[in-house]
Amino acid sequence: MRHRTLTLFLLLSMAALCGCDDLVPRDTASLLVPRLHRSEIFGFLAGFGTTFAALPDLLSMLKRRSSAGMNPRMAAIMGVFQLLWVYYGLLIGSRPVIAWNLLAIFINFVSVAAFRHFARKEASARAQA
């Protein structure tokens, strides 16, 4: 099951990257000082907030080393819809939408993986007790 999940994640990531051809900067002289529009700046700020909103739950779960209080379905559902946001970002050519949602997908993937890891450990500890 773990291998299938990783394979699915890699295939979806490859599909997202294949659509990035139009996002490659043609003006390489401006790479050090990208010309961002005001809407892109606000997009990056909004994306930062929404992307890292799930991070405190992940960090507290890792610190507790327990799956208590975590809902993996929420993270999985968010990850699926963030895939749609990445596709939408590719369609409209929006770097902030693509960048933040790819990062958010990774955070949600790690959250679900950590939940599964700790839930298995807790189940085996209960079985041994």
93 Cβ neighbours under 8 A, 6+ residues apart: 22, 23
Comparing 42 with 24, the larger pLDDT belongs to 42
pLDDT at 35: 66
What is the distance between the alpha carbons of residues 82 and 96, in angstroms, rounded to a whole number? Answer: 13
Q: What is the mean pLDDT of residues 9-38?
A: 61
- CA distances to 52, 87, 122 from 128, in Å: 37, 46, 10
pLDDT confidence of 30, banded at 50, 70, 90? very low
**One-letter amino acid of 11:** L
Instruction: Give this prediction's pTM.
Output: 0.61
- For the stretch 51-80, pLDDT in tens is 887 788 888 888 888 878 778 788 788 888
- For the stretch 108-122, pLDDT in tens is 888 888 888 888 888
